[in-house]
């Protein structure tokens, strides 16, 4: 096996799986804050759901620079790493939240879970516009 960059098709295939993503934001003191998150990749952007009191939201509102790592937990090892800027939004909140919940929990359970999260009244979407994408795989 050789180490190499993934093709665009391989990156899309990798991102369509339900891996956990790891979102890195910048704390006020400049140190990194890393959090495991559910995500969805659409139209070249990465979308993440969370609540508006999360440390990652506070960090992004102060400094929008982020990185997201999406890697396989085992062989064959591969990852996609996004560097870019994030914004916090509630635009299209219900659709994005439902889509991500269904993606990770299935149709019925995902819709029920998204309704529960929406009921708390503090859900937000982190929308990341990548400026750089790095990928890697151990492929044939």
User: Alpha-carbon distance 106 to 21, whole Å?
Assistant: 18
Segments forming the whole domain that contains residue 79: 2-134
In a domain? residue 46 = yes
pLDDT in tens, 1-13: 578 999 899 999 9
pTM for this entry? 0.93
In a domain? residue 29 = yes
User: Alpha-carbon distance 123 to 89, whole Å?
Assistant: 9
In a domain? residue 57 = yes
In a domain? residue 98 = yes
For tokens 């990852």, what's the residue?
79
pLDDT in tens, 51-84: 999 999 999 999 999 999 999 988 888 999 999 9
Q: Quote the number of domains for the chain.
A: 1
In a domain? residue 140 = no
In a domain? residue 139 = no
DSSP assignment letter at 16? T
DSSP assignment letter at 119? H
The CATH number linked to 122 is 2.30.110.10
């Amino acid at each position: 096996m050789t180490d190499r960059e993934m093709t665009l098709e391989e990156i899309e295939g990798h991102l369509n799986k339900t891996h956990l993503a790891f979102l890195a934001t910048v704390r006020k003191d400049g140190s990194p804050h890393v959090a495991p998150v559910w995500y969805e990749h659409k139209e070249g952007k990465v979308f993440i759901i969370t609540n508006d009191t999360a440390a990652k939201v506070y960090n992004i509102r102060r400094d929008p620079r982020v990185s997201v790592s999406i890697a396989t937990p085992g062989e064959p090892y591969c990852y996609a790493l996004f560097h870019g800027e994030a914004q916090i939004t509630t635009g299209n909140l219900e659709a994005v939240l439902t889509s991500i919940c269904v993606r990770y929990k299935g149709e019925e359970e995902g819709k029920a879970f998204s309704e529960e999260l929406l009921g708390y009244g503090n859900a937000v979407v982190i929308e990341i516009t990548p400026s750089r994408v790095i990928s890697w795989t151990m492929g044939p």
